[in-house]
């Protein structure tokens, strides 16, 4: 009876833990940008072809949106060669002065969001 209870507990624990995801990220300092243009066009490329969507939040104005995610596309990255990349772009309306922007990237099949922070100073 004790062996059966132990086996049942082990199966329950294995099933329970299989649904858990470990979301960990090393946080870096924010990137500082000065601009005279609003909305600000923020864009980058990544070799993470599992990227599904990217959202942004301007914590200064409480505006939020979703970035355009294109790809994967086969592209040359000089001088390294050809790679499959995802293109991410967004237009973020800015308030006068410093704006605190957070982008969150989500991979396919994952509930984990990975954050990047920008401090964009709009000088009209």
What pLDDT score was predicted for residue 110?
A: 78
CA dist 122 and 97 (Å) reads: 5
Q: How many residues appear in the chain?
A: 124
What pLDDT score was predicted for residue 22?
A: 64
DSSP per position, 36-71: S-SSEEEEEEES-TTEEEEEEEETTTTEEEE-EEEE
- Has residue 110 been placed in a domain? yes
- Has residue 7 been placed in a domain? no
- Has residue 100 been placed in a domain? yes
CA dist 80 and 112 (Å) reads: 30
| Domain count along the chain | 1
- Has residue 20 been placed in a domain? no
What pLDDT score was predicted for residue 19?
A: 44
Report how far apart the first and last C-alpha atoms of the chain are (Å, whole number).
75
pLDDT tens by residue, the chain, 124 residues: 444 443 444 433 333 334 445 677 667 799 999 999 999 999 999 988 899 999 999 999 999 999 999 999 998 878 888 889 999 999 999 999 999 999 999 988 777 888 999 999 999 9
DSSP per position, 59-107: TTTTEEEE-EEEEEEEEEETTTEEEEEEEEEEEE---SEEEEEEEEEEE
- Has residue 77 been placed in a domain? yes
**Tally of CA atoms within 13 A in the half-sphere of 103 that contains its CB:** 21
- Has residue 18 been placed in a domain? no
- Has residue 23 been placed in a domain? no
- Has residue 76 been placed in a domain? yes
Whether the model clears a pTM of 0.95, i.e. scores above it, the answer is: no
What pLDDT score was predicted for residue 27?
A: 73
CA dist 10 and 3 (Å) reads: 10
Range of the domain at 95: 28-122
CATH of the domain at 45: 2.60.40
What pLDDT score was predicted for residue 98?
A: 97
């Amino acid at each position: 009876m004790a062996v059966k209870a132990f086996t049942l507990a082990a199966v329950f624990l294995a099933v329970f833990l299989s649904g858990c995801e470990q979301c960990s990220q090393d946080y870096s300092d924010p990137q500082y940008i000065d601009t005279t243009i609003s909305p600000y066009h923020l864009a980058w490329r990544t070799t993470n072809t599992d990227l599904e969507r990217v959202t942004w939040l301007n914590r200064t104005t409480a505006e939020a949106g979703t970035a355009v995610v294109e790809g994967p596309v086969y592209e040359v990255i000089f001088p390294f060669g050809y790679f499959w990349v995802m293109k991410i772009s967004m237009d973020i309306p800015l308030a006068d002065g410093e704006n605190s922007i957070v982008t969150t990237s989500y991979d396919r099949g994952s509930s984990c969001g990975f954050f990047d922070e920008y401090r964009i100073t709009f000088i009209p």
